[in-house]
Amino acid sequence: MPTTAISQHDVHAVDFETLLARLNACDATIAIMGMGYVGFPLAIATHAKGYRVLAFDVDPQKIEKLNAGQSYIKGITDAVVADMRGERFTASCDETALASADLLIMCVPTPLDKHREPDMSFVLATTETIARNLRPGQLVVLESTTYPGTTTDLLKPMLEKTGLKGGEDFFIAYSPEREDPGNGFFSTHSIPKIVGADDDKSRALAMAFYGNIVTQAVPVTSSATAEAVKLTENIFRSVNIALVNELKMVYEKMGIDVWEVIDAAKTKPFGFMPFYPGPGVGGHCIPIDPFYLTWKSREYGMPTQFIELAGQINHAMPGYVIKRLRQGLDRHYKKGLNGTRILLMGVAYKKDVDDLRESPSMFIWEKLEERGAVVDYHDSHFPEIPPTREHASLTGRKNTPLSEDTLAQYDAVLIATEHSNIDYNWVCEHSKLVLDTRNACRNVKDRTHVIKA
């Protein structure tokens, strides 16, 4: 492990005023715990502002790559990582290095378990790691999406078992991540940040740090409020996506193109915000976060029917896509799914990212094979399907290169993710049947063999 200025930084207890001055002056050590799609960009933005950065992860392969100046996330180049190498940056799996940090930020997964309830195991394990190394004068911030009350009722008591008191000996706050992988218009620096804490000192410290990192830091009165802000943002998206998914099915029966309807409706300069349908919802937010609130709301005897209905509609979309494919095969070939050759185009959960988390493409793929279809995929972001928790049977499948001869071998092409590097006019020209779940073929002139789903 390289020796840096971080490991030599004063690890003795500091008071509130000293810590505040360090954070304001960008003369502090920031430990970012969890170097994934949230922690990695945050580490880059933090280092760019002059802070010392300790990148911590339990995955030794990530740490090895970071210390070698290599990236493992699409959109972050090796050059960016290499530029961070030096006295103000180190990456480590050694938890004792955390004692050198002035601020510890938790950026770890918060998935759902098999019962669709919050899986807090990553947060709990990370909090235990912090507790083993906690010293007076440190600020701890949770960024992982979670239910209201997590920071106050779960993290703080665990940390106080050390004998240190939150808000006095150490400080604690919540600031939800707002990363949007694949979005070239916004970066960590340009996205405003919500900051919530239950005491003035913790809030002031967190505001000092995030105020230096992002264009705007927005304080709220409590950590629970900040936790609720994040859930509200994603529930808003989930509900509106469910609405247009339902409209898609209704308008299809009426012979109306829902995408044309939405494009026309969004010309209204007020009172309407466009959302677009698809084959389902994926990623680490929309399919998961709303259920953190539905779970917590049971404690208060409050049903969340609207949120749960939206989840049911979005969850049903892969089945609707397969139904539309079956209709198309019957109309064009007078045949069903059994033995049909299908090319699945796009397995990432969204456009132009290398992320499979909760991807509806994977659910569609497995359902098609269960019905006897022969399925291959094309997605240049995935030369090979990596191991996933829910789709182990697909691990190791290889990407199918595109060519005219290749397309001619398939009974149908199913567009599940609309990547920018694909010429969909060309795909339609050389395919027998195309099922389009993303309106990717909107500019194709001859759409007699294109079905929208």
Q: Is 6 within a domain?
A: no
Residues 80, 128, single domain; the answer is: yes
What's the token pair of residue 383?
């030369």
| CA dist., res. 174 & res. 193, Å (int) | 10
Residue 321 lies in a domain: yes
Distances in whole angstroms, Cα of residue 195 to Cα of each of 136, 187, 363, 385: 22, 18, 36, 37
Q: Which residues of the chain have pLDDT under 50?
A: 1-10
Beta-bridge mates of residue 413: 343, 434
Shared-domain flag, residues 313 and 216: no
Q: Copy the structure tokens of residue 360.
A: 């509806």
Please indicate, yes or no, whether residues 153 and 278 belong to a single structural domain of this protein: no
* Predicted pLDDT of residue 86: 86
**174 and 323 both lie in a single domain:** no
For every residue of 90-147, DSSP letters joined together read EEES-GGGGGG-SEEEE-----B-TTSSB--HHHHHHHHHHHHH--TT-EEEE-S---
- pLDDT reported for residue 239: 97
Do 210 and 252 belong together in one domain? no
Residue 8 within any structural domain of the chain: no
In this prediction, residue 12 carries a pLDDT of: 67
> Closest by alpha carbon to 213, among 43, 383, 346?
43
Choice among 26, 93, 107, 285 that is catalytic: 285
- Compute the distance between CA of residue 400 and CA of residue 406 in angstroms, rounded to an integer: 8
Distance CA 447, CA 417 (A): 19
Place of tokens 């992002």: 214
Do 208 and 250 lie in one domain? The reply is no
Inter-axis angle of helices 305-315 and 317-333, nearest 10: 30
Quote the domain boundaries for residue 89.
16-223
3-state secondary structure of 27: coil
Tell me if 400 is assigned to some domain: yes
Instruction: Report the CATH number that the domain containing residue 437 is assigned in CATH.
Output: 3.40.50.720
Residue 169 located in a structural domain: yes
Do 321 and 415 sit in the same domain of this protein? yes
Q: What pLDDT sits at residue 451?
A: 96
pLDDT at 11: 57
Question: Which residues are within 8 A (CB) of 302 and not within 5 positions of it... i.e. 6 or more apart?
Answer: none
pTM (2 d.p.): 0.91
Same domain, residue pair 285 and 343 = yes
Q: Is the same domain home to 254 and 394?
A: yes
291-301 as b/e: b if 16+ CB within 10 A: bbbbbbeeeee
* 285 in catalytic set: yes
Residues 306, 369 share a domain: yes
Residues 6 or more apart whose Cβ sits within 8 Å of residue 268 = none
293: enclosing H helix or E strand:
helix 289-297
Of 190, 223, 256, which residue constitutes the final position of a domain?
223
Q: Are 84 and 45 in contact (CB under 8 A)?
A: no
In the chain, the number of structural domains is: 2
- pLDDT at position 390 is 87
Query: pLDDT at position 180, please?
Result: 80
Type and span of the H or E element at 67: helix 60-67
Tokens representing 131 are 């507790």
